Amino acid sequence: MRNEVIRNKQGLTEKEFLKGYDADIYKKPSLTVDMLIFTVMDEEEENYRKLPEKTLKILLVKRGDHPYLGKWALPGGFVAVEESLDEAAFRVLRAETNIDDIYMEQLYTWGDVDRDPRTRVISSSYMALVDNSSLKVKAGNDEEDARWFEVQYNLLEEKKAAAERGYIYEQLVEIKLRNESDELSARIKITENPDGSVCREIIESEGIAFDHGKFIQYAIDRLRNKIEYTNLAFNLMPELFTLTELQQVYEVILGRELLAAAFRRKIASMVIETNQFTKDAGHRPSKLFKYNSAWRRDI
Amino acid sequence: MRNEVIRNKQGLTEKEFLKGYDADIYKKPSLTVDMLIFTVMDEEEENYRKLPEKTLKILLVKRGDHPYLGKWALPGGFVAVEESLDEAAFRVLRAETNIDDIYMEQLYTWGDVDRDPRTRVISSSYMALVDNSSLKVKAGNDEEDARWFEVQYNLLEEKKAAAERGYIYEQLVEIKLRNESDELSARIKITENPDGSVCREIIESEGIAFDHGKFIQYAIDRLRNKIEYTNLAFNLMPELFTLTELQQVYEVILGRELLAAAFRRKIASMVIETNQFTKDAGHRPSKLFKYNSAWRRDI
DNA sequence: TCAATAGTGTCTATTAGACAGTATACC
DNA sequence: GGTATACTGTCTAATAGACACTATTGA
């Protein structure tokens, strides 16, 4: 519908205008994507009767160059001019994992002026959820050291303070990331203003590069929120699973215990029972379920 | 905690590395912010007894140059290197409105390669909510023609189709934007994949510049979602309001009628009654309420 | 046998939806 | 008085939380 013969104030047609357009007269920020790749893994359990505990893991990459040399960062990369933002995210994801059909979602775009000491860099964060059983992280690709870290989310402090037109709510959250060899942490202050808008600020960061601690806190917030009303959790599950395993995944993301009876009622319509069972469990076997792909939240 | 004496593989310290860093060796996309400024206004009502209807409005700007010359676009601007993303959004917002303390929230960053015919432009969209009574849109600033458009959101079609691993849900949504003089529209196809990820695609766009139709559809989605569990609606209300007015705001955003009794129960804890009443209404006066600034959703 | 998990039944409290019914100014 | 809105009471259905109780395996 755009009419090519319309002329602007300089008397140019659109064709002429576009030909003369110079995108580089102003200095531009650089743009990156950073991936938050989550999975859930079983921890070793020595007692043959007990079920293994599940933990939430995130994939981090050890920085091999300045800045933050030796610190751990989210896998990421610069966005090229010939690829879309989503394509850039997929490219980064493929560089780290061997799977193609991975759940991916854009989270937030971080634009503080000083967030990267090299130059002005704005970063769009994406979250990916992968099923650990079908996953193989590409080890040592382009000399990178990629490792899974156990994620812990601790609410350290909650504050409510009177302000001009209402109350300001502040949370101090600690993110702990653990490995066999490393323990990283970040403290993030989350401020909720009277109008409902939210700000995040890094108070302290140990071993985590850039402002990536904020990214992780934000992602967990989103995970916790979306798991309640979407099928998101099933992206972390294998083809067949027990309801207890599914409940454990919910619990490890939400950071609290759930009651089995209520949980089973709630997710009943999202799963289909098979006639297979777990074996050699040291206790009563458990029925295996699969995702009910026809499920959809009612609106 | 970053140690300046660590050297990278080229033997450079961080200082030396940063000195030699050239951010411009690769071509970069440009970055803009686009603002979705919403308000709710009363429509004229000739019957003295009847309450005026409320409508959701969005502020658009008539493009004065190529591309999309003469079409209507969201107010926006390029992000400069010395300002943060939020600062850029505030700058754009201040250019259009006279208010300082406006609710603003980042929505989504749009990164399709061909979304701007000038050059590669990635756009972060922000939503702002303003109370119509305290608002004055800056008219004719830098020769811009800024106007309010009534927003309508119509679900035209819903489809569920079997796919490889589950079902694909498709929605066809029509956005209609109306003015005394103009009527614009866009059709957006929203695809929800089996894993829960969502894609948006513009099918048709009449009078709306760029891919801004998608931005508007996304923003309304977010509005509808967040109004259910946050205090967001009160950013659209004046200091004092009746519960019927508040309900009308909820209805115009949600696009459906609500039952008064249930609505009042639901928002009871979010408001404080005053001892003032409406007057000259042609019917029973209504008690005026104000926002309960101590309200917070329980977690 | 028993440790540990699997799975169900049911009571209670809370909340959303529906709708009838009463109240009240202003023309 | 009549119109249009303001506001409340209550029945019902659906849902979440709590918890007790039964079931079942492998060592």
pLDDT in tens, A239-291: 999 999 999 999 999 999 999 999 999 999 999 999 999 988 888 999 999 99
Are A8 and B69 a contacting pair at CB < 8 A?
yes
- Which of the listed residues A210, A226, A242 is the one where a domain comes to its end? A226
A281 domain residue, yes or no: yes
- A69 and A207 within one domain: yes
- Which of the listed residues B226, B256, B280 is the one where a domain comes to its end? B226
Does the predicted model carry a pTM greater than 0.85? yes
Are A9 and B65 a contacting pair at CB < 8 A?
yes
For residue B138, give every residue at least 6 positions away whose Cβ sits within 8 Å of its Cβ, in sequence order, or none: B95, B96, B97, B98, B146
What is the Cα–Cα distance from B218 to B197, expressed in whole angstroms? 14
* Domain coverage including residue B287: 233-291
Number of domains forming the structure of chain B:
2
- Low pLDDT (below 50) residues in chain A: 1-2
pLDDT of residue B2: 47
Are B28 and A169 a contacting pair at CB < 8 A?
no
Q: Look at residue A281 and give its three-state secondary structure.
A: coil
What is the Cα–Cα distance from B1 to A47, expressed in whole angstroms? 41
Please tell me whether any atom of strand C lies within 7 Å of the Cβ of B48: yes
Query: Nearest CA to CA, how far is B73 from chain A (Å)?
Result: 14
pLDDT in tens, B21-54: 887 888 999 999 999 999 999 998 888 888 999 9
Which residue is it, tokens 């959703």? B297
- B197 and B60 within one domain: yes
Q: Look at residue A141 and give its three-state secondary structure.
A: helix
pLDDT of residue B1: 47
Are B293 and A167 a contacting pair at CB < 8 A?
yes
Query: Nearest CA to CA, how far is A138 from chain B (Å)?
Result: 23
Half-sphere exposure of A63 (CA within 13 A, CB side): 22
- B257 and B114 within one domain: no
Question: Is B136 a residue whose pLDDT tops 90?
Answer: no
- B272 and B186 within one domain: no
pLDDT of residue A21: 86
- B238 and B219 within one domain: no
Q: B158 φ, ψ to 5°?
A: -130, 135
Are A81 and B29 a contacting pair at CB < 8 A?
yes
pLDDT of residue A100: 78
Q: Look at residue B246 and give its three-state secondary structure.
A: helix
pLDDT of residue B94: 92
- Which of the listed residues B226, B252, B270 is the one where a domain comes to its end? B226
Which CATH number belongs to the domain containing residue B285 in this structure? 1.10.10.10
Q: Which of residues 175-234 of B touch strand C (CB under 7 A)?
A: none
Cβ within 7 A of any strand D atom:
A 48, 259-262, 265-266, 279-285; B 47, 49-51, 242-244, 260-261, 264, 278, 281-287
Mean pLDDT of B175-180: 96
Which residues of B fall within a CB distance of 8 Å from A117? Answer: 14, 18
A198 domain residue, yes or no: yes
Query: Nearest CA to CA, how far is A57 from chain B (Å)?
Result: 20
Tell me the CA–C1' distance in angstroms for A198 and C16. 30
Please tell me whether any atom of strand C lies within 7 Å of the Cβ of B94: no
**How many residues does this entry show for chain A?**
299
B299 domain residue, yes or no: no
pLDDT of residue A139: 54
A8 domain residue, yes or no: no
Residue B153 binned pLDDT confidence (cut-offs 50, 70, 90): very high
Element spanning B7, H or E: none
Which residues of A fall within a CB distance of 8 Å from B105? Answer: 197
Which residues of B fall within a CB distance of 8 Å from A17? Answer: 65-67
